[in-house]
Structure 1
Amino acid sequence: MAKFTFNMPDIGEGIAEAEIVQWHKQVGDQISEDEEFVDMMTDKATVPMESPVNGKILEIAGGEGDMVSIGSMLVVIEVEGEVPEDVVEETAAATDTAPAPKDDVVEERIEVENSDASDADDALAADPQPEPLPAPTPAPEPVQHAKVLATPAVRKRAKDLGVDLAQVKPAEDGRVRHGDLDQFLSYNAGYGAAAAPRADEEKKVIGMRRRIAENMAASKRNIPHFSYVEECDVTDLEVLRAQLNSNRGDKPKLTILPLLITAICKKLPDFPMINARYDDEGGVVTRHGAVHLGMAAQTDAGLMVPVIKDAQAKNPWQLANEISRLAEAARTGTAKSEELQGGTLTVTSLGPLGGVATTPVINRPEVAIIGPNRIIERPMYVTGSDGVERIEKRKLMNISISCDHRVVDGWDAASFVQALKRLLETPALILVD
């Protein structure tokens, strides 16, 4: 038997440590070569670790949520025979550290495991015997309540409602009736629910949820946010979308999001300060020519932001395909590291839950984030081609934008949204080159 120590490898992202998200194996479990045994999270993505050997797990680095430094022990595996030299060399190269001499490691562990038992006996004999524990204090006697007079039907009803009859004021004869119970409930609305609250639950903040918490806190701490909201009439845009979908052939079905992204990309060249990233430490703003658009996607693990690369070069149907593909990759945890970084601007949409207005938090180091809200129908005054003003039912959607005030002025943000509004309200221009 030999012991093989698998150290945390350098994943190649310039990181110093990674977080344990989930163990798939525990101490005592058998593991096969190439079998995944733990998921490790970096700042960019979750990466599964695979065993290079067959064997039995003897030791693991820590629990879920703990951080493991690059090059430090992640797991110790007991293997049959000797550990292959190529495995030792490959592991050492991955951690950029030289492998420790195997004989020294084995001898050190054997020395610890086979330490002289007589030394332990002598140590025990030298220690004074502990004082006997004091007798436990008897529990207080339960408070005895006087017997409550009530019919079986009233008792059953009170039990079903979770009401303690001792708290209900009875009639003059001392008997609790249904009317007394009704009066108690009317003055104690929700009593039943309050009488049996759900147990408190503590949940360690780890993995994606911890990354989200850290990133959002850093964003709000470092960026002076301001938000601007404008109402857009998207009635004609919805008509255009329905027409495009009715004649789409084998093209994907369009939601409003691909059309909105196309409109955003058309207007960004006039507002380069929106499509930018700010380096806090260097004090440098980079205004990007290409639009690498982050798309906030809700997953079971939390919010992820896959990036549509070169969104400005894609038509609405290509964008629809990318939106669907990246959203599915985010939900299933198969998004690649390069698909989760490099964004220059983010769009976040809650779809039908979008509300009246949102004030989204900027995805640092970007300097702006756009949030389309829910489409609702409302009556509006509309001036027809004949110049007559009339009331019509229109589809309206608010557009929110949050900006970094160090880089984007309020005038620029408002002007950009107004230009976007004009394009959305004249949707034929969206498809014109």
Structure 2
Amino acid sequence: MAKFTFNMPDIGEGIAEAEIVQWHKQVGDTVNEDEEFVDMMTDKATVPMESPVTGKILEIAGGEGDMVSIGSMLVVIEVEGEVPDDVAEESQAAAEAAPAPAPKAEPVEERIEVETSDASDADDALAADPDPAPQPEPRPAPEPSAQAKVLATPAVRKRAKELGVDLAQVKPAEDGRIRHGDLDQFLSYNGGYGAAAKPRADEEKKVIGMRRRIAENMAASKRNIPHFSYVEEVDVTDLEVLRAQLNSNRVEKPKLTILPLLITAICKTLPDFPMINARYDDEAGIVTRHGSVNMGMAAQTDAGLMVPVIRNAQAQNLWQLANEIARLAEAARTGTAKSEEMQGGTLTVTSLGPLGGVATTPVINRPEVAIIGPNRIIERPMYVTGADGVERIEKRKLMNISISCDHRVVDGWDAASFVQALKRLLETPALILVD
């Protein structure tokens, strides 16, 4: 018998440590050669570790959420006989390896030195209540067949299930869809029927993996970047007509959402506003204004918000963008996105789709200096001047566009001018298709 120490290897991302996300094997388990035994998360992706030997696990580096330095012990395995020389040498090399330097930014067209002062950080401590409330008695869930016939959002269905309410008994709105207000009204008229009388028990959940990365990145962004937001209303009635026409004439092409059209319009607007498509290295005091547009696309996943990157978005047509959006969104949701697909963005678009609300103030994806948030499209009456010069009231489709910018790099005037130029393009959508 021999003991083999598997040291955390340098996986080529210039990192100093990685986080334990999930153990597939525990102390006492047998692991086979080339079998995955733990998932490790870097700043960019989750990487499975495979065992180079077969044996019994004697020791592991820590629990889920713990950090492991590159070159330090990850797991100790007891093997029969001697450890192969090449395996032992590779593990020793990992222990002696130093983290690779961080990758350089892609070629740029302009670099500007910026003087800035450091901001001080403040840490807050939160105390947890050690005595959780009593666990409420479970209520029987509604019949799936009855729930399936009801039009309601997943959030409403989840709330109704927790309250023990059969949505089939709730009167919907005029459009047939049940909303939170309809559920509240049902509960009030039925004496709180189905509502849990006792408070839900407190739940403590360790923040690890992707959720911890999101928390750290968002905290660093708000701590270091002086945000400001600007919101403008855009009439997208003609844009939606164009989108419908393109979709009706497509042959073996993906269905277009508004996002490819918006990204194309943004790319056509950016050459006149290079300060928007930029990254700021605040430690070096250098702003890099990029020629190519590597568009970050915020995608909601079960693990949290991820931002895969559409490379050279300015060089892709609407159909190529639609394909790439669908591919990257699926890769993010399934956890198959590659590390290089999750980094190098120069500008981000974030949208909540039909849940977008009237306006948003998105948080910048550092070290980028701006983020754009299209909001929900709503129909509203507005005054429109026709070709005959007569002003009349029409039903129009309107959408607010939000932008948050780093005030150290982008002035308010520049942000507003950029959005106004984008607005003119979106309200004259034929120009989007002109090269």
TM-score, scaled relative to structure 1: 0.79
Contact map agreement 2:9 2:71 (CA 8 A) in 1: yes
**What are the Cα deviations for residues 346-374 of structure 1, in whole angstroms up to 9, with x where unaligned?**
00010011000000000000000000001
Cα distance between partner residues in 1 of 2:340 and 2:153: 71
Please state how far the C-alpha of 1:408 moved relative to its aligned partner. 0.4
Matched with 2:195 is: 193
2-side partners of 1:241 and 1:168: how far apart? 36
Q: Is residue 47 from structure 1 mapped to residue 47 from structure 2 by the alignment?
A: yes
* In structure 1, C-alpha distance between the alignment counterparts of 2:128 and 2:394, rounded to whole Å: 94
Identify if the C-alpha distance between structure 1 residues 125 and 85 changes in structure 2 by more than 3 Å, giving closer, same or farther: farther
* Cα distance between partner residues in 1 of 2:186 and 2:358: 40
Alpha-carbon distance in structure 1 between the residues aligned to 2:196 and 2:42: 43
Alpha carbons 1:163, 1:195 under 8 Å: kept: no
Are the aligned partners of 1:2 and 1:106 in contact in 2 as well (CA < 8 Å)? Answer: no
Call closer, same or farther: CA 1:102–1:196 in 2, change over 3 Å.
closer
Q: Deviations over 1:307-327 (max 9, x none)?
A: 001000001110001101111
More off after superposition, 155-164 vs 302-311: 155-164
The answer on 1:22 being equivalent to 2:22 is yes
Preserved contact between residue 274 and residue 345 of structure 1 (Cα < 8 Å): yes
Alpha-carbon distance in structure 2 between the residues aligned to 1:393 and 1:247: 26
- The 5-angstrom pairing of residues 266-285 of structure 1 reads 266-285=268-287
Question: Given that residues 288 and 344 in structure 1 are in contact (C-alpha distance below 8 angstroms), is that contact kept between their aligned partners in structure 2?
Answer: yes
2:384 aligns to what SS in structure 1?
strand
Q: Hey, what's the Cα distance between the residues in 1 that align with 2:179 and 2:256? A: 63
- The farther-off stretch of 39-48 and 413-422 is 39-48
CA shift, 1:195, in A, is 3.7
Question: 1: CA distance between counterparts of 2:214 and 2:205?
Answer: 15
Report the TM-score when normalising by structure 2: 0.78
Moved more, 140-149 or 1-10: 140-149
Q: Tell me the equivalent position of 1:365.
A: 367
Question: Residues 76 and 168 of structure 1: is their aligned pair in 2 closer, same or farther, counting only changes over 3 Å?
Answer: closer
The match for 1:66 is 66
Matched residues in 1 for 2:419 and 2:352: separation? 19
- CA contact under 8 A between 2:277 and 2:347: conserved in structure 1? yes
More helix, by proportion:
1
For structure 1, the 5+ residue unaligned runs are none
CA 1:208–1:155: 2 relative to 1, 3 Å: closer
Q: More deviation in 204-213 or 135-144?
A: 135-144
Report the CA distance between 1:429 and its aligned residue.
Answer: 0.2
Quote the Cα distance in structure 2 between the aligned partners of 1:161 and 1:312: 49
Aligned residue for 2:215, secondary structure, equals: helix
1:57/1:123 CA distance change after superposition, 3 Å: farther
Q: Which of 188-197 and 274-283 deviates more?
A: 188-197
Q: Is the 8 A contact 2:359 2:402 kept in 1?
A: yes
After TM superposition, give the deviation of residue 186 of structure 1 in Å. 9.6
Which deviates more from structure 2 when the two are superposed, residues 337-346 or residues 140-149?
Answer: 140-149
Could you tell me which residue of structure 2 aligns to residue 412 of structure 1? 414
Q: Where does structure 2 lack aligned partners over 5 or more consecutive residues?
A: none
- 1:35 paired residue number: 35
Tell me how large the CA RMSD over aligned residues is: 16.2
Deviating more after overlay: 98-107 vs 422-431: 98-107
**Counterpart selection for 2:263 from 239, 261, 264:** 261
Alignment of 1:19-418 (within 5 A): 19-96=19-96, 193=195, 195-418=197-420
Question: What do the CA deviations read for 1:389-425 (whole angstroms, capped 9, x no partner)?
Answer: 1111111110000000000000000000000000000
1:203-235 CA-to-partner distances (Å, cap 9, x unmatched) read 000000000000000000000000000000001
Give the superposition deviation at 1:30: 1.2
Which has the larger displacement, 167-176 or 414-423? Answer: 167-176
Q: Is the 8 A contact 2:377 2:398 kept in 1?
A: yes
User: Which deviates the most, 393-402 or 92-101?
Assistant: 92-101
CA 420–106 in structure 1, closer or farther in 2 if over 3 Å, else same: closer
Change (3 A) 1:56 1:161: closer
**Deviations, residues 269-307 of structure 1 (Å, cap 9, x unaligned):** 000000000011111100000000100011111000000
> Comparing 423-432 with 8-17, which one deviates more in the overlay?
8-17
Q: Point out the structure with max Rg over C-alpha.
A: 1
Task: Quickly say closer, same or farther: Cα 1:20–1:157, change in 2 above 3 A.
Answer: closer
Structure 1 residues 73 and 143: alpha-carbon distance in aligned structure 2, compared to 1, 3 A threshold: closer
Quick check: 1:162–1:196 contact (8 Å CA) kept in 2?
no
Residue 93 of structure 1 deviates from its aligned partner by 2.6
1:91 CA displacement: 2.1
Q: Is the 8 A contact 1:10 1:95 kept in 2?
A: no
CA contact (8 A) 2:293 2:314 kept: yes
Question: Relative to 1, partners in 2 of residues 1:132 and 1:104: Cα closer, same or farther, differing over 3 Å?
Answer: farther
For residues 79 and 106 of structure 1, the distance between their equivalents in structure 2, rounded to whole angstroms, comes to 51
C-alpha distance 97-113 of structure 1, shift in aligned 2 (>3 A): farther
Query: What secondary structure sits across from 1:156 in the alignment?
Result: helix
Alpha-carbon displacement from aligned partner over 1:11-45 (angstroms, at most 9, x marks no partner): 12121111101111111111111111111111111
* C-alpha distance 129-417 of structure 1, shift in aligned 2 (>3 A): closer
**Equivalent-residue separation in structure 2 for 1:46 and 1:230 (angstroms):** 38
Distance of 1:274 and 1:108 partners within structure 2 = 13
CA offsets 1:102-152 (integer angstroms, 9 cap, x no match): 999999999999999999999999999999999999999999999999999
Change (3 A) 1:88 1:354: same
Structure 1's 290 and 198: CA in aligned 2 closer, same or farther, altered over 3 A?
Answer: same
> Does structure 1 retain, via aligned residues, the 8 Å contact 2:119–2:224?
no
SS in 2 for 1:192: coil
Report the alpha carbon displacement of residue 95 of structure 1 after superposing the two structures with TM.
Answer: 3.8
Q: Secondary structure at 1:124's aligned position in 2?
A: coil
Residue 404 and residue 79 in structure 1: after superposition, are their counterparts in 2 closer, same or farther (change >3 A)?
A: same
1:196, distance to aligned residue in structure 2 (A): 1.6
- Residues 168/399 of structure 1: CA separation in 2 closer, same or farther (3 Å cut): closer
1:200 and 1:387, CA in 2 relative to 1: closer, same or farther beyond 3 A?
A: same
Distance 1:79 1:319, change over 3 A: same
